[in-house]
Amino acid sequence: MGKKSNVAIAIAAAAGAAWASTKALSKPTGRPSKEALKYDHPIILAHRGGAALAPEGSMAAFENAAKLGVHGFEIDLRLTKDEEIIVFHDETLERVTDFTGKVSDYTLSELKAADLGYYFKDLSDAYSFRGTGEQVLTLGELLDAYPQMLINMDIKDNPETYEGSLMPSKLWRLIEEKQAFDRVVVTSFFDEQIDRFNLYAQNTVTLGAGEKEVKKAYTAYTSQFRHLYHPRSDVFQLPLKARMVSLDSPGFIKFLSTLNIPVHYWSINDPVVMKKLIQNGAKGIITDRPDLAIDALKLD
C-alpha cells in the first residue's frame, strides 16, 4: 500500500472518529411548541393580504382574504419618521403609491394621505383601486382588526439604519401592548433583527428564520453532521430556491419537522405547486392568490 493510500485512510479514520465523537456529545433537541403554530392541517397565509387581488397591505386586501377563509396574513413592517410601525414592504413609496421618497421621510399622518391603490391593476388589467381611499395601515390597526388571525410579520428595516435600530424594541412594545404573543410570528431576512427582538421577547413570541439561519440548517442537512444543528427559530418561511439551491425537497422538510419546525413556502401562486409542497410535508402556503389556495388545499 502506497504512502498516498495510507494518508487517505488516516484522514477517513479521523473524519469518522470526529463524526462519532460529535454524535455522542451533541444530541439535537427540537424547538418547544408555540401556541401560534398549533394547527392540525396546512394553513394559508395571504401574502401582503393577497397582493394579486387587491393593493398589497391595504384593508381591502385583508378583508378580501379574510372573507375567503385564510388562516392568516404574511406582512412586512417599516418604521415611519415619527416611529410608527406600518404595514409596508418597500423602502420607498413609488411602486405602489402616488408618493415618492422613503417611508422613513414621512410621518404616519402624512403617509395616510398616500393612495395605496394608485398603481394596482386587478386581474382584468384595470386600475380598479386608484382613488378608492385605500390607506397605509399601522400594525396596531391590523392587530385590532383581526384578533383571530395568525400574522407573520417580516422586519424590513436594515438593523444598521436608524429605523432598523429602533424597530425590535418598538415591535416588542406593541405586541406586548396588544397581548398578541400567541398570534404572531416575527421574522426578518436580517438574523440580527430577530436576535435583537428576542432580547426583549425572551422566546415568548414565535420566531422565524433569517437568511443565515436557513443557510446553517441547509448546510447541516446536506452534511454528515446534522446532529450538530441546534435551531434558533420556530418556523421557516422559505422560497422554493435560493441562489439556485432547491429548498423544497421532502428530505429537508422532514429534517426540520423532526426538530418541531414547520415549513411555510412563499410566494406560491400555482395550485399544482401548492399541492406538491403539501404532499412533500410543508405546513403552510404563503400566496398572492388566496382564492386559488383555498380551492387547491380543500381538506377531504
**In CATH, what number is assigned to the domain containing residue 157?**
3.20.20.190
Q: How many domains does the chain have?
A: 1
Per-residue pLDDT band for 7 (boundaries 50, 70, 90) equals: very low
71 assigned to active site: no
Spatial distance between the Cα atoms of 182 and 205, rounded to a whole number of angstroms: 7
- Please, which residues bridge with residue 206 across strands? 185
Question: Is residue 205 in a domain?
Answer: yes
Per-residue pLDDT band for 292 (boundaries 50, 70, 90) equals: very high
Spatial distance between the Cα atoms of 268 and 294, rounded to a whole number of angstroms: 12
3-class DSSP state of 73: strand
Catalytically annotated residue among 47, 227, 230, 264? 47
> Could you tell me the residue range of the domain that residue 179 belongs to?
35-76+149-296
Question: Is residue 156 in a domain?
Answer: yes
For residue 104, what pLDDT is reported? 98
Q: Note whether 54 and 61 are within 8 A (CB).
A: yes
The grid coordinates listed for 243 are 441562489
- pLDDT tens string 10-35: 444 444 444 444 454 456 678 999 99
For residue 191, what pLDDT is reported? 98
264 assigned to active site: no
Catalytically annotated residue among 71, 89, 230, 264? 89
Question: Is residue 144 in a domain?
Answer: no
Question: Is residue 133 in a domain?
Answer: no
pLDDT (average), residues 174-188: 98
3-class DSSP state of 140: helix
Question: Is residue 96 in a domain?
Answer: no
Question: Is residue 125 in a domain?
Answer: no
**Mean pLDDT rounded to a whole number for the chain:** 92
Question: Is residue 230 in a domain?
Answer: yes
For residue 150, what pLDDT is reported? 98
- Please, which residues bridge with residue 46 across strands? 73, 287
Question: Is residue 94 in a domain?
Answer: no
Which residues of 120-251 form beta strands (DSSP E)?
A: 150-155, 184-187, 206-207, 236-238, 241-242, 245-246
